[in-house]
Chain A
């Protein structure tokens, strides 16, 4: 046997490992594929062996081959085998291979669930880590659902290494299994404040990623992020947060106002360019979100633009690029501030770096105005000529068109110029954007009526010179332009100078080489032209021209009738027959022109692209229903014309339409007129501009140059756009001069004596009148079009599913699926073993119990989330909210039979959340420290009694509440309140955690029908106080076992708040306690048993702070009292004195109890077990509602309600040393009787005494 192993391992030595494989591939450069295929055969052999090491080696090699492009999915099962090896080395290889080649449709993935779960809970952190890393690459919805709960548990792992991976992977889980987002979110949020920066950064990362897609759901986190932003020093985290704020500000402008200051500070202070850049970006986002209401925000823009200019001028191309990128964002809202840097941007157009040139182009888009459009386009045209490489040239072309056509041709003052630009662009060789130019030509010609004559003339010239455009190549995209040209000439043929010539041009034999859809348009429009020619010759008596035209058609059309393209053929043969008939009529001297023209009568209106979509579906029409039986699958789609224009063909079959819908048309026209009246872009005609247009040299003045075929790129006879630049300049000057004249006249007449500056003022946008009477016809929409928001998101976007309201309280139905036996393990119930036995016998009962178990988990989570919220929240509000929120859970705890209860969607917490945010947003930034403390001191009257239990503190709190609510309306005091809360948050930071949790629990448990708000409660009590200092202690709040299996290592943590009440500085505070046999203060190693502990802070006047001290306790059955002293130095301006303050620490037995949830069945078993000693007390004259009573017991004595029926409730708690304490509380009239059971009678007695004391005080 041993020999076999040795032999195996020696064999293995000579197996090819990854390095050998790589080396082999490098040595077989000639026949690489062949070599690899032999290697794959070897690998297949290796995978068949039992030895896991061999398999792992094979899988490792496969991973490499996968990178080279070989499909290795056939080995998926072997990969799973290697993944499940117990050795880390192999496991890692397996997971790596899986992460490289598994995906959602890999079927073996479902085999991995249990293996992954096992690895996730492995004691070795690297096993877990490797599993998480792998899972992040191939997580499927199933895996996400099954493992969500395990991963969530890992988010609280002790090792930050695991925590941060678990946090990150949650994002992937959310994507695949959106239901997990809400249950997991509270914990995720908690991780934002994780002590480990890596975990924190991961949490920020995930939340930012979530928020980027659905920002509105994360608005309530803004205060938390704001805090992080002002406290974090990690640039990576800062960048993420700042980016997040950039996404949030558009939703909440007030947030922006709050951000501006810290961001500006960062801009000034940071040396990291990456951070600076993101700050600038977010400031821009803020400025965009703010309406111009803010007075000083031009300063911020200036700062941004200035910083960006520095970036753009930097020699580092990266910074230049980013600078331009950010600049384009400013441009959208503050074009003026960018326009002043036009020089810089135009300079960037000449940069050798294409990325930078493209960015600069983007900027140009927003920088144009009526004034500079021509100039900028001229410059771009120069670049078009110079540009090397078609991609950049195409980019330029699209940009020119974008720039000109933006916002409904807003900046174009002279459409003749624009048409000539378009015509010039047709000279571009090899461009892909012929259709773009074509659609612009069509759009302008259709929508700008005044330009039609000019456009038609230009198009006619284009058609005449079509051979120059088509050149030699069919694939040349530019021939699309001919489509537009032919259509324009045909449709608006009444404007043609010489229709006959154009007709001839359209019927040249060469046309037959054009793509089919263009030929079809040619044929159709030839017919239109023909009609025009006939009409033109109507009056002529000889009619030879008309007959010539007919003859021409009859001669040339047969060519098209033979076309391979169905569309062309059909049209051509139709028209041919028609013309033949017309010719016959002509020969009989019948007047046909009118009839022929009727074929093409009526006007064509532009239709909005969305119009079809917006037609409301008539009632009772099911568009998805089959009219006939569904056709067979094998329909070929080869014949589909690719060009977009083919789709527009149906438009041409108009005559029928007009005849049928004459009324309808009139109605539409009316509607359109009204729409135009309301349209700001509808440029109203002004008589003066009309005149100017007539003055401008028309087409006829442009000399027709002899066609020079040697220079094919020049389209002769076309005006150059440059001319227009000049002309426009002149025109504007003239206009200005005229205006001046007029004004002077006016002034002379009126002598109103306006300032001279008026006529020297620079020409403003409005002064430039368009050169044409431009009628930019708006696009038509169907009647009663449905209004719809246009931000249609891609339905396949996985993030759509994550648009989930996170502030709503968790419903019962929302929970992460938990495997059953894990649930049982997780149970902290003392009767673990028993329940498991029970479950075997009663499966039904178990399942309901499981549900409850899950619910508990969830509840815990929710509690956490609430605690988070509460830090910022009015305490009173909390209670109310809990009352409402608590009801959701109540019935389940109540009854075992009703397993599920519908969740009441209480909006209260959401609204509370929102108002909370409002509060945070409305407050002034950074209150000063002293002021803050002063308000706290003022608001907190000193409690009168110094009692061990916290009861006396309560009135104080109530009073505080009252003061707060009475001042509610005044803003200033609101601020104060906010400060108080902040303060509270700071000092009670931790206690709230616990106390609120307990309070909440109790309330949840206690309320059924009553909705009376509970009086607020606090666990703080006054410890000692003198004129200098006040010490408040919380009754041994966080009690925990440091390690559960140490019998006597119980520890108690005491939080003490020190508050400076005098006007001097308190320093060198030392806290000391005389240890008893039972309880000892934990001191740092090396210090003696009587040394004091140095309080780790100093107190400026009016400030308070909290320190925590740990005590070791041996026995917990008796209450303890410890004497202690606080020594400190009071430092005044001139002198300093030593002072001391004595106090007594009181550890009640209650403080050793931990609120532990318990289930009624476990509770019943516990009571039945008979190990417990019982005792009872009666309380007389208790005058409070039963649920208040329960709440008090829960809150002050750390109990939880197990079950409540009417005026009777069972409660449970557990001590830190594992004693069970059970209570049965009954009330009748004003008498409360408490029967109690506990396995430690002394403890029980003392607890009962303490309960009695609590109620005797009220």
Chain B
């Protein structure tokens, strides 16, 4: 089981938090902070597994994380998950984001956290892995987006236009905070079918 999925940046700002077990808001923030604290002080080139923090988990739980440029992707899982499998799942997740957002960068995650949630929902459900095939995930996500578009129809057009205008005069919209080299792979780990 996956207990929580967290994405935060190099400064510990949460970009997505998904808890598959209930905590109140304060505890959630504490967990995010603690996790960030644990993860951020680790060097690059050390292993991607961490024995669980004090707040989340306990003995049976592990933090499995990957660091892409400015973002940390952290999964808190118990012993029923394969460690390397989860690492691969993170990779699939990031690649899917990359496909869905066309060259994903941190800003995409900042402004479209709802979409990230929807993509994640196609991969992990209630703490269990639902789908590991990237194409299947993208197909389902696209189909749902299409539905959303068709529902918005013409009525949605002005809203889209306004939002485009709003985005136009955005000085702080650099596209350079790219998630970076997502092709870092665990050696000898062919992706799941």
Contacts and interface: CB of A to CB of B under 8 A. Distances in A.
Interface of A: 9-10, 12-14, 17-20, 22-23, 26, 60, 63-64, 66-71, 87-89, 92-93, 96, 100, 103-104, 124, 126, 129-130, 132-133, 136-137, 139, 161, 164-165, 168-169, 171-172, 197-198, 201-202, 205-206, 208-209, 212, 233-236, 239, 243, 271-274, 277-278, 314, 316-322, 352-356, 358
Contact of A136 (B25, B87, B125): B125
Interface string B20-35: 1010111011000000
Residue of B28, B88, B159, B186 ringed by the most chain A CB atoms within 10 A: B159
Contact of A164 (B20, B118, B131): B131
A19 B107 CA distance: 11
B126 A169 contact: yes
Contacts of A161: 140
28 contacts: A9-B155, A9-B158, A19-B112, A22-B110, A23-B166, A66-B25, A70-B25, A88-B144, A88-B151, A89-B151, A132-B125, A133-B121, A133-B125, A136-B125, A161-B140, A165-B130, A208-B80, A236-B132, A239-B85, A243-B82, A271-B188, A272-B188, A273-B188, A316-B187, A318-B83, A322-B49, A354-B46, A356-B46
Given A22-B111, A70-B25, A353-B46, A137 B17 contact: no
A168 B87 contact: no
Contacts of A126: 143-144, 147
B117 interface: yes
A26 B129 contact: no
Contact of B111 (A19, A66, A319): A19
Contact of B193 (A69, A139, A233): A233
Contacts of B117: 63, 96
B172 interface: yes
Given A96-B121, A132-B125, 16 more contacts: A13-B158, A18-B111, A71-B25, A92-B144, A126-B147, A201-B132, A205-B129, A239-B82, A272-B188, A273-B188, A274-B84, A314-B187, A316-B186, A320-B47, A321-B47, A354-B46
Given A22-B110, A22-B111, A169-B126, A209 B151 contact: no
Contacts of A319: 187
B155 A18 contact: no
Interface string B144-183: 1001100110010011001100110010100000000000
Categorize the interface residue count of chain B. Answer: 35 or more
A317 B80 contact: no
A274 B159 contact: no
Nearest to B84: A274
A295 B17 CA distance: 52
Given A104-B22, A352-B46, A17 B130 contact: no
Given A88-B151, A169-B125, A277 B84 contact: yes
A273 B186 contact: yes
A13 B114 contact: no
Nearest to B64: A318
Nearest to A13: B162
A572 to B, nearest CB: 39
B138 interface: no
A209 B50 contact: no
- Nearest 9 CB-CB pairs, A to B? A136-B126, A274-B84, A317-B47, A103-B22, A353-B46, A69-B29, A321-B47, A273-B188, A89-B148
B86 to A, nearest CB: 9
Chain A contact surface mostly: helix
A314 B186 CA distance: 12
B26 to A, nearest CB: 7
A69 B28 contact: yes
B130 A164 contact: yes
Contacts of B80: 208-209, 212, 243
Contacts of A171: 126, 128
A268 to B, nearest CB: 15
B55 interface: no
A10 B156 CA distance: 10
B9 interface: no
A273 B144 CA distance: 35
A130 B83 CA distance: 28
Contacts of A60: 114
B48 interface: yes
Contacts of B118: 92, 96
A18 B108 CA distance: 12
A64 B126 contact: no
Given A272-B188, A317-B46, A277 B82 contact: yes
Contacts of A353: 43, 46-47
Contact of A88 (B45, B148, B187): B148
A922 to B, nearest CB: 30
A69 B128 contact: no
B159 A318 contact: no
B85 A274 contact: yes
B45 A317 contact: yes
Contacts of A92: 118, 144, 148
A236 B192 contact: yes
B16 interface: yes
B26 A69 contact: yes
Contacts of B151: 87-89
Contacts of B94: none
Nearest to A316: B187
Given A88-B148, A353-B47, A318 B87 contact: yes
B117 to A, nearest CB: 6
Contacts of B88: 274
B113 interface: yes
B114 A168 contact: no
A278 B80 CA distance: 11
A64 B113 contact: yes
Given A9-B155, A19-B166, A235 B192 contact: yes
A355 B136 contact: no
Residue of B14, B112, B127, B167 ringed by the most chain A CB atoms within 10 A: B127
A355 B114 contact: no
Contacts of A201: 129, 132
